[in-house]
Amino acid sequence: MPRVFSGVFRALIAALAIPALVWAGTPTRTVSLYFTVEEGDKLIGGLTEQNFRLYEDGQPRPFRLAEPESPMMIALLVEYSQISGFYRSDIEEALRRFMEVAPDGHWYSLATYSHGLTIHEDFTRLKGRILATFTELPQPIWSEVDTYDAVNEMLEKLDLLPVGRKVLIVIGSGLDTFSAATVEDVRKRIEATNVTVFAIGAGTLLRGQYDAYLAAGARLELTQAEAFFNMLAKKSGGQAFFPRFESAYRDIAQGIATMLQQQYRIVYESAAPADGKFHRLNLEAFQWVDDKRKNFRTRVREGWRR
């Protein structure tokens, strides 16, 4: 039977219980909004409050720029089934490369999924244990890949953590075989959960060298898998990656680590009513140069569902 976060998780709950959520029973809720600012492939740092405008449901909202919460809670969710053997080297390479560059001083956990979710490593600051634990896993029993169920359950677990900076890194194909949860279920969950998701698509041979030889049905499944990972990233303010060559995982890992280190944090009072509907956010980032406004791209979540 899979186990939930225990030990360190319960200790963190107790230690961080003081700054509890103020959402329930109040007309507003205090929200931390994490995002990066980009110009092309370049991350932009050093901006101040005067460089941003925030809108919720089209209405301007006051905010303050704050230091990112630290330490981060970074959960790694890794596909691990019998059929994953076809791209196991991709999965191992993606995990190994990220743990090599993962920033020190934060909390890391490891979970795998096939037909069900299993927590192998509770939150630990000893990041070396993540890769060591993964390499010692026995051969997978199941051939199913219940990606939607696993992501949905992991988001639910992360949502139980106290207020803080939470990151989910999903490493897998994005394919789904037997989930009870649907894409719509996961979409609603990520809209209601303050977690930034980065997704790394495994299966470089399928997406690269063998793509021309895939049947229409297989190509459609890969397209759906990529759409699912892109949805997670777009909804949460993260990013999805689909490398065509195994050598790209090093750059992907470094890119994620750099984005985490250069995220901005805006704190504001959300006025979105608790009506179960989706409330859209729009965050503008800009700079005045020679009396002309220069706009930047913000990688930020699309909004909230209450």
CA angle (276 as vertex; 10, 269 as ends), nearest 5: 70
* Structural domain includes residue 277: no
* Structural domain includes residue 23: no
What pLDDT score was predicted for residue 7? 47
* Structural domain includes residue 77: yes
Average pLDDT value for residue range 264-279: 95
- How far apart CA 251 and CA 53 sit, in angstroms, is 32
* Structural domain includes residue 188: yes
Average pLDDT value for residue range 135-148: 94
Q: Is the pLDDT of residue 148 over 80?
A: yes
Q: Is the pLDDT of residue 165 over 80?
A: yes
Q: Is the pLDDT of residue 19 over 50?
A: no
What pLDDT score was predicted for residue 219? 57
> What's the pTM?
0.88
Cα torsion 207, 210, 215, 216 to 10°: value is 30
CATH code of 138's domain: 3.40.50.410
Q: Residue 304 forms beta bridges with which residues? A: 279
Total domains in the chain come to 1
Confidence of residue 11 (pLDDT cuts 50, 70, 90): very low
Q: Residue 176 forms beta bridges with which residues? A: none
Better-scored residue on pLDDT, 26 or 52: 52
- How far apart CA 279 and CA 9 sit, in angstroms, is 31
- Asked whether 78 and 95 are in contact (CB, 8 A), the reply is yes
Per residue in 74-97, pLDDT tens?
Answer: 999 999 999 888 889 999 999 999
Confidence of residue 184 (pLDDT cuts 50, 70, 90): very high
What pLDDT score was predicted for residue 163? 77
* Structural domain includes residue 136: yes
Q: Is the pLDDT of residue 214 over 90?
A: no
* Structural domain includes residue 131: yes
* Structural domain includes residue 79: yes
Average pLDDT value for residue range 203-217: 57
Structural domain of 151: 73-260
- How far apart CA 20 and CA 43 sit, in angstroms, is 32
* Structural domain includes residue 232: yes
